[in-house]
Amino acid sequence: MKKLILSIALLCSGLFADAQTETLLSIKPAGNQIVSKHIYGHFSEHLGRCIYDGFWVGENSSIPNKGRIRLDVVDALKKIKVPNLRWPGGCFADEYHWRDGIGPRNERPKMVNTNWGGVIEDNSFGTHEFLDLCKMLDCEPYIAGNVGSGTVEEMAKWVEYLNFDGVSPMTAIRKQNGMDKPWKVSFWGVGNESWGCGGNMTPEYYSDLYRRYATYARDYAGAPLKRIASGASSDDYHWTETCMKNIGPGRMWGLTLHYYTLPTGNWGAKGSATKFDEEQYFNTMKNCLRMEEIVSKHAAIMDKYDPKKKVALIVDEWGIWTDVEPGTNPGFLYQQNSLRDALIAGTTLNIFNNHSDRVRMANLAQTINVLQALILTEKDKMVLTPTYHVFDLYKVHMDAKYLPINFTSPDYSLGDKKILALNVSASQDSTGAIHISLVNLDPKNKIALNTDLGELKWKTVTGQILTSAQLTDVNTFTNANKVHNAKFTGAKKSGNTLKVELPAQSVVVLELK
């Protein structure tokens, strides 16, 4: 491949308050590193209205559905090519007993969802229903097994029920329940948040327990497991160190990491999803950008024990977590989704892309009606959030060759505080097209990019943009398209130079052919 050198000068026009600055950005040629499509995964827990009233409608619902799975939701998720879906939790996974969710629905026992609102779970959406959903979405299932309140035998038999194509008690039950051939589920989580709601364990205890559970989660013919260990919360580097040392790279495919962006940094009063000023916005984005430091430090620990990078770092819970919407059940974690959240999504995905040598899977929390949702529903109505539109823009990076980037960002300043205004990632797809995703976090100033592409020969540039007048702008059931993707006309070719004007508070994805 021809050497690709991209230099960008960030020039402040007369509209800018600051003096002119120049920044060099270079993009190196693609190597063997791939931006895994699984970075763009999602998470659906038995929590609030994610499953019930989200994916799953009533038995006699007039909402178009197939086997009670809501079709408009399926169509929307297929459009963004959802690569994998994590289920049944979350905290719910470690109180979920899979046999309660198979067989005739009218015979399934009910249970109390003790983690999320104390509501009654009727188990009508279980293993078969989830795997039907994944088939409709054409995505890979990612199942989190119960280590907290379950047993080794329970998990082992669930794997057998899912993956064994032979004669056994579990396959006989599966066939009795209408599935003759196994699903061959690959992604398998051994517990969830074992440091917290999954058992309040120490890393030393969990890593020993993992080895036991993982031993009996068998590889069956044609169905090798990708075993995933329950990893750290945020900056708990001791947890990662202990798991890497005690479990070792040969016993796990991946190790998880959970990090949520809290607007205030305070779990007690996290801040509103829709009512915030610039100072609250600034602090939110500062907390979002911590993902770079956290991923880098966990990856460095993993490198010490796994220099060949065989173990994936899986950020299978991430996103903004705010206070719930006023008047809603606090245990349902329902929050609106603004332009600010779209900027968080674009920024975080750029970070993951740039660490795709180690981050090979991630799952936004959560898909529908919970936390930083892609989709909100209300009876027969459905709205796509600004975050959904970012995933629609970024799907071009899936399984593309990673293009390394070096640059210095201008600052976004507020008083005496400052953060990086610009973040970028780039990839080259199988057709040779280059995709560059750019996020400008500064809500006031544009960034002018004057780009020299060196030896790269290209003829056209096109793009799409996501922005809005206010950071607090949201899509609602009465105004579903207030924040949406639009054609971007701020990029042009001048000789072999790419000139871009990146608007304030925007996400832009460019395609060069």
Task: Report whether 48 contacts 117 (CB < 8 A).
Answer: yes
Peptide bond into 366 cis (omega under 30): yes
Confidence at residue 449, expressed as pLDDT on a 0 to 100 scale: 84
13 and 88 both lie in a single domain = no
Whether 163 maps to a domain, the answer reads yes
Q: Can 154 be counted among the known catalytic residues?
A: no
Q: Which of 242, 367, 366, 258 is nearest to 313 (CA)?
A: 258
Task: Report whether 426 contacts 403 (CB < 8 A).
Answer: yes
Domain span including residue 172: 34-402
Report the relative pairing of strands 506-512 and 461-466 from DSSP bridges: antiparallel
55 and 18 both lie in a single domain = no
Q: Which of 130, 126, 93 is nearest to 228 (CA)?
A: 93
430 and 354 both lie in a single domain = no
Q: Strand runs (DSSP E) across 239-291, as ranges?
A: 254-261
Backbone angles phi, psi at 341, to 5 degrees: -70, -35
Last residue within a domain, chosen from 402, 419, 434:
402
Q: 75: Cβ–Cβ under 8 A, 6 or more apart, which residues?
A: none
Q: What token pair was written down for 329?
A: 């059940």
349 and 451 both lie in a single domain = no
384 and 479 both lie in a single domain = no
Whether 498 maps to a domain, the answer reads yes
Task: Report whether 37 contacts 400 (CB < 8 A).
Answer: no
The DSSP code sequence of 315-350 is: EEEEEE--PPPTTS-TTS-----BHHHHHHHHHHHH
At 434-469, the pLDDT tens digits run 999 999 999 999 998 887 766 677 899 999 999 999
Q: Which of 281, 378, 376, 342 is nearest to 465 (CA)?
A: 342
Q: 416: Cβ–Cβ under 8 A, 6 or more apart, which residues?
A: none
What does the radius of gyration of the chain's CA atoms come to, in whole angstroms?
Answer: 23
Question: What whole-number distance in Å separates Cα of residue 304 and Cα of residue 308?
Answer: 10
- Give the CATH number for residue 296: 3.20.20.80
> Which strand (E) or helix (H) includes residue 86?
strand 84-87
Confidence at residue 457, expressed as pLDDT on a 0 to 100 scale: 77
Task: Report whether 35 contacts 426 (CB < 8 A).
Answer: no
CA atoms within 13 A on the CB side of 326: 3
At 383-433, the pLDDT tens digits run 999 999 999 999 999 999 999 888 889 999 999 999 999 999 999 999 999
Question: What whole-number distance in Å separates Cα of residue 501 and Cα of residue 105?
Answer: 56
Q: Which of 171, 169, 170 is nearest to 181 (CA)?
A: 171
Q: Can 278 be counted among the known catalytic residues?
A: no
Task: Report whether 396 contacts 421 (CB < 8 A).
Answer: no
Task: Report whether 87 contacts 142 (CB < 8 A).
Answer: yes
Whether 421 maps to a domain, the answer reads yes
Whether 269 maps to a domain, the answer reads yes
238 and 160 both lie in a single domain = yes
Last residue within a domain, chosen from 356, 378, 402:
402
- Count Cβ atoms below 10 Å from residue 478 Cβ, excluding itself: 8
Residue of 140, 193, 279, 511 marked catalytic: 193
453 and 318 both lie in a single domain = no
Q: Which residues pair with 497 in a beta bridge?
A: 452, 494
Backbone φ/ψ region at 435: left (φ over 0), alpha (ψ -120 to 50), beta: beta
407 and 379 both lie in a single domain = no
Confidence at residue 451, expressed as pLDDT on a 0 to 100 scale: 75
Note the pTM of the prediction, 2 decimals: 0.94
Whether 39 maps to a domain, the answer reads yes
Q: What token pair was written down for 279?
A: 């100072």
> Which strand (E) or helix (H) includes residue 143?
strand 140-145
438 and 453 both lie in a single domain = yes
Question: What whole-number distance in Å separates Cα of residue 62 and Cα of residue 60?
Answer: 7
Last residue within a domain, chosen from 374, 402, 430:
402
Whether 2 maps to a domain, the answer reads no
Q: Which of 492, 390, 380, 483 is nearest to 72 (CA)?
A: 380
Q: Which of 148, 264, 124 is nearest to 201 (CA)?
A: 148
Residue of 121, 140, 160, 317 marked catalytic: 317
Q: Along the 513 residues of the chain, how does pLDDT read in single tens digits?
A: 333 333 333 333 333 333 334 456 677 777 899 999 999 999 999 999 999 999 999 999 999 999 999 999 999 999 999 999 999 999 999 999 999 999 999 999 999 999 999 999 999 999 999 999 999 999 999 999 999 999 999 999 999 999 999 999 999 999 999 999 999 999 999 999 999 999 999 999 999 999 999 999 999 999 999 999 999 999 999 999 999 999 999 999 999 999 999 999 999 999 999 999 999 999 999 999 999 999 999 999 999 999 999 999 999 999 999 999 999 999 999 999 999 999 999 999 999 999 999 999 999 999 999 999 999 999 999 999 999 999 999 999 999 999 988 888 999 999 999 999 999 999 999 999 999 999 999 999 999 888 776 667 789 999 999 999 999 999 999 999 999 999 999 999 888 778 889 999 999 999 999
Whether 53 maps to a domain, the answer reads yes
> Which strand (E) or helix (H) includes residue 209?
helix 203-216
Q: What token pair was written down for 300?
A: 């460095």
What is each CA distance from 114 to 197, 334, 367, in whole angstroms? 11, 17, 21
Whether 1 maps to a domain, the answer reads no
21 and 56 both lie in a single domain = no
How many domains does the structure of the chain reveal?
2
> Which strand (E) or helix (H) includes residue 243?
helix 237-246
398 and 408 both lie in a single domain = no
Residue 346, amino acid: G
17 and 64 both lie in a single domain = no
Confidence at residue 454, expressed as pLDDT on a 0 to 100 scale: 64
- Give the CATH number for residue 424: 2.60.40.1180
